Amino acid sequence: MTKRFWQDNSTPLLCVKLGAIVVMMFAFAIFIMPPLYDLFCDITGLNGKTGGPFVTGNAENELGVDTSRTVKVQFLATNNENMPWEFRPQIKTITVHPGEPTVVNYLAVNNTRFDMVAQAVPSLVPFKAANYFHKTECFCFNQQPLAAGESAELGLSFIVDVDIPKNINTITLSYTLFDITESQKKKTTLNVINSHQQLAVNQL
Amino acid sequence: MAHGPAKGFTRWLYTTNHKDIGSMYLWFSFAMFLLGGVFALVIRAELFEPGLQIVEPGFFNQMTTMHGLVMVFGAVMPAFVGLANWMIPMMVGAPDMALPRMNNWSFWILPFAFAMMVATLFMEGGGPNFGWTFYAPLSTTYAPPSVTFFIFAVHIMGASSIMGSINIIATILNMRAPGMTLMKMPLFVWTWLITAYLLIAVMPVLAGVVTMMLMDIHFGTSFFDAAGGGDPVLFQHVFWFFGHPEVYIMILPAFGIVSAIIPTFARKPLFGYSSMVYATASIAFLSFIVWAHHMFTVGMPIAGELFFMYATMLIAVPTGVKVFNWVTTMFRGAMTFETPMLFSIAFVILFTIGGFSGLMLAIAPADFQYHDTYFVVAHFHYVLVPGAIFSITAGVYYWLPKWCGNMYNETMGKTQFWMAFIGLNLTFFPMHFVGLAGMQRRVPDYNQFFADFNMISSCGAFLFGAAQIMLLYNVISTIRGGKKATDEVWENPEGLEWTVASPAPYHTFSTPPAVK
Ligand code: HEM
Ligand SMILES: [Cu+2]
C-alpha cells in the first residue's frame, strides 16, 4: 500500500489542535468579548456608562466639599421608541459643589391602561466625567414596575467627585426609559422552565 | 490501476474525490453568483431613476441584504474553496485532500444553508432586511420573524467553512510531496494556508455573534439590548472583529491566483516570492487590529480613532509590496494577453484603485463624511469585483483546459473580459462621485441631482450581468468540446499541476512526484 500521507505529521492531532482554536474563538466571542467591552467602557467612561452604586464613607470622600468651585449638572429624559409613559426630571439643572451629596427626583407616570415594567438607562457626557460622577442611589439600579394609571417619584442621589478635572464645568446626565414589560414576561417563563428542570433534577 | 468515477447522481452525493468536490463547489458558487446578481439587478433597476417605481422599500432592503450575504458567503467564499479543492492537492503533489469524507460534508451542508436562507424571502414578514452586516437592534428587536432561519443558515455556513479550512490546512501541512518545502509551495497554496487560519480564527466569532443574537431574541438575554444592560455597539465590535478579517479572506486567495497567472503570461518568474509570503502573513496579522475603521462614527475616544486609523493605513504597506511585485514581474516580460492575463492585469489596476479609496476611508475625520455613502459601496466593490470576482474568473480560464482537456474560446473570453471590464467601471466608478456628494447607501430613493450617474451605474450593471452569461456559455461549451489542450496548456507554466495529463485524470499523484 502506498503511504497516504507524504509527511510524517499526525493529521488527527492537527485536527484536534485546530478544533481547539475554533472552540476557543467561539468562547472568546461569547464569554470574553462582552465583559471585556464593558470593562473597557468602564475604564474609559465610554458610552457615558456611570457604573453601579457608589459606596460613600471612604477616606477620599471625607475630604469634604470643595466650595471653591461649582459644577452645573443638567438632567434629560428620553422615552425610548414607543414607551408611552410620561417621564421627566423635576428640575432641569442644578449647580453643585464637588463633594456635596445631592438628591434630585424624576417623575414617571404610567398613563396607559396596562401594568408595565420600565428600565431607565443612564448616559453621561462628557465621557471624561463619567468616572467622577458617583451615584449613591439611583432608580436606574432597579426595574420600575408601575400599575396602570400609577405614578412615582424616582430618586437619584449623587456626588460629583472633588477630583473632577478643572475644565469640566457642565455635566449632562440623560436617562432613556425602556419598556421591558415583554422581555420581563419572557424571563419569567424562562425561570419557570428552569425551576421545572430543577424540580425534575431534584426528583432524580 | 485507479478506478474511475461512479455513475449517476450518487457519484456526486457520495464522492470524496477532491476534483468532484471542487467542481461542485464551483458550480454551486456560480449558481449563487447568478442569484446574487439577480438581486443586484433588482437594486439597480429600482435605482435607475429617482423615486420609487419597481419594488417596495421593504423588499428593496431585503434585496440589498440578500445580495450581500449571497455574494459573500455563497459566491466568493465557495468559489475559492472550490479552486482550493481542485488545485491544492495537484499543486503540492498529494493524491487527495487530507480528510476526504469531511470534504464531502463541508460541501453538502452548503446547499441546505442557502436553501434555508433564500427561503426566508417567502416567509411571513419577509427575509432579512437589515443589511449584510446585520447590526443589532435591526437584526434583533426589529427583525422579521425569519431571522431565526437566517441565524441557523449562518451557523451552517460557518461550520462548512471551518471544516473546509481544517481540511485545507491538514492537506497543506501533511500531504506535500517529499521535497516540497514550505518555501517552495506555489503562492496560491501559501495564501490559502493563511486564509484557512484566518477562517478558523474568525468564523467562530461570527457563529458567536449570531448565537448572541439568537439568545437575545429568544431567551431573554441582553447582549445587545440597552434596556437590559447590554449595548448595541458591542455588536458592531464583535461583528467587525470577524468582518474585517473576512474581507481579507475574500482577497488573499485572489492574490495567490494572480501570482500564478502573471508569471506565466509575462514569461518571467514571479518577482519577490518570499516577500509575497511575508506580505500575505503581515496582512493577515494586521487584519485583526483594524476592525474599528468600520465604526469611526460610533463615538470612539480620540486615541481609538487614531490607533485604528494608523493601523489601517499600515495595511497599505504590505499590499503595496504585492502590487509592486506583480508590476515588476510584468516589467520587460514577453507578455501576451490571453483572457486569464487580461483579467489579472485588470485585477492589479482596479484593485489598486480600491486600495486608494480604502486609504481615503481610513482617514478617520474624512470618514465621517464618507461613511454609509455610496463612496463606501464604490470602495468595496472595487476591491471585491475586480479583486475576488476577476481573480476567480481568471483562475477558471487559466485552469479550465487542465480540468476538462479542451481549450476555451479565446475570442469569446476576451469579449467577456471587455464587457465585464467596461460594465464594472460604468457601474462602480460613478458611485465614487455620488457618494462624495452625499448619496446614502441602502436607500431605494435619491435626490434628483444624482439621477444621471445612477442611470449610468444601472446600465453598467446590466452589461456586467450579460458578461457573466457569456462566461457560463463559454465554460459549458468548453466542457462539451473544443480544441484539445496540451498537458502544459500554456507556454512553460510553473507548477506540478501542469505535469499531469489534460484533462487531469480522476486520480493524480497516487505516488508522490519528484520535486526539484
Ligand atoms: C488598502 C486596503 C484597505 C483599506 C485601507 C480599507 C479601508 C476601509 C475602510 C476605512 C472602510 C470603512 C468605510 C466606512 O464604512 O465608512 C472599508 C469598508 C469596506 N472594505 Fe475596505 N479597505 C481596504 C481593503 C479592502 C479589501 C481588500 C476588501 C475586500 C476584498 C475590502 C472590503 C471592504 C468592505 C466589504 C467594506 C464595507 C463593509 C460595509 O460597511 O458593508 N476593503 N474599507
Ligand atoms: Cu475593514
Ligand 1 contact, B430 CB (< 6 A): no
Q: Is the peptide bond before B263 cis (omega within 30 degrees of 0)?
A: no
pLDDT in the model for residue A65: 80
Ligand 1 contact, B249 CB (< 6 A): no
Mutate to test the pocket of ligand 1, among B351, B379, B436 (most ligand atoms within 8 A of CB): B379
Residue B308 has pLDDT above 80, yes or no: yes
CA-CA distance, B389 to B387, in Å (whole number)? 6
Residues A90, A38 within the same domain = no
Residues A81, A130 within the same domain = yes
Residues 195-254 of B with CB under 8 A from A: 200-205, 207-209, 211-212, 219-220, 222-223, 225-231, 233-234, 237-238, 241
pLDDT digits (tens, 9 = 90+) for B138-162: 999 899 999 999 999 999 999 999 9
Query: Who among B170, B174, B511 is closest to A2 (CB)?
Result: B511
CA-CA distance, B480 to B38, in Å (whole number)? 27
Residues A179, A96 within the same domain = yes
H or E element that contains A87:
strand A86-89
CA distances from B384 to A8, B68, B70, B71, B388 (A): 38, 11, 14, 10, 5
pLDDT in the model for residue B205: 97
Per-residue pLDDT for chain A (204 aa), expressed as one digit of tens each?
344 555 656 888 899 999 999 999 999 999 999 989 888 877 776 666 666 677 665 545 555 788 888 999 999 998 988 888 999 999 899 999 988 888 999 999 998 888 999 888 888 888 888 888 888 888 888 888 899 888 888 888 888 888 888 888 999 999 989 888 877 776 655 554 444 334 433 333
Domain that holds residue A177: 51-186
What is the model's pTM? 0.90
C-alpha cell at A7: 509527511
Residues A122, A153 within the same domain = yes
CATH number for the domain that contains residue A138: 2.60.370.10
Question: Do the domain assignments include residue A32?
Answer: yes
CB burial string B206-228: b at 16+ within 10 A, e below? bbbbbbbbbbbbeebbbbbbbbb
Q: Are the C-beta atoms of A119 and A38 separated by less than 8 Å?
A: no
> Alpha helix locations (H) across B47-186?
57-69, 77-92, 100-119, 147-174
Residues A105, A146 within the same domain = yes
Q: Calculate the average pLDDT of chain B.
A: 94
Question: Do the domain assignments include residue A197?
Answer: no
Q: Are the C-beta atoms of B73 and B153 separated by less than 8 Å?
A: no
pLDDT in the model for residue A1: 35
From A12, which residue of chain B is nearest by alpha-carbon distance?
B170
Domain ranges across chain B? 19-249, 251-505
Query: Hey, do B19-249 and B251-505 end up sharing a CATH topology, with the first three levels equal?
Result: yes
Residues A83, A35 within the same domain = no
pLDDT in the model for residue B302: 87
Q: Which residue's entry shows cell 500521507?
A: A5
The residues facing A177 across adjacent strands are A79, A120
CA-CA-CA-CA dihedral for A183, A187, A192, A197, to nearest 10: 140
- In terms of phi and psi (left: phi > 0; alpha: psi -120 to 50; beta: otherwise), the region of B96 is beta
Residues A163, A73 within the same domain = yes
pLDDT digits (tens, 9 = 90+) for B505-514: 999 998 888 8
| CATH entry, B251-505, from 1.20.210.10, 3.40.50.1110, 1.10.10.10, 3.30.70.890 | 1.20.210.10
pLDDT in the model for residue A195: 44
List of chain A residues whose C-beta atoms are within 8 Å of the C-beta of residue B169: 14, 18
Residues A158, A77 within the same domain = yes
Question: Do the domain assignments include residue A196?
Answer: no
Question: Do the domain assignments include residue A101?
Answer: yes
pLDDT digits (tens, 9 = 90+) for B87-100: 999 999 999 999 99
Question: Do the domain assignments include residue A35?
Answer: yes
Question: Do the domain assignments include residue A115?
Answer: yes
CB burial string B390-404: b at 16+ within 10 A, e below? bbbbbbbbbbbbbbb
- The predicted model gives B418-446 an average pLDDT of 96
Contact A37 B201 (CB under 8 A): no
Residues A121, A63 within the same domain = yes
How many domains does chain A contain in total? 2
Residues A83, A99 within the same domain = yes
Fold type of domain B19-249? Cytochrome C Oxidase; Chain A (1.20.210)
Residues A29, A109 within the same domain = no
CA of A7 to the centre of ligand 2 (A): 37
pLDDT-derived band at B200 (thresholds 50, 70, 90) equals: very high
CA-CA distance, A202 to A24, in Å (whole number)? 33
pLDDT in the model for residue B504: 93
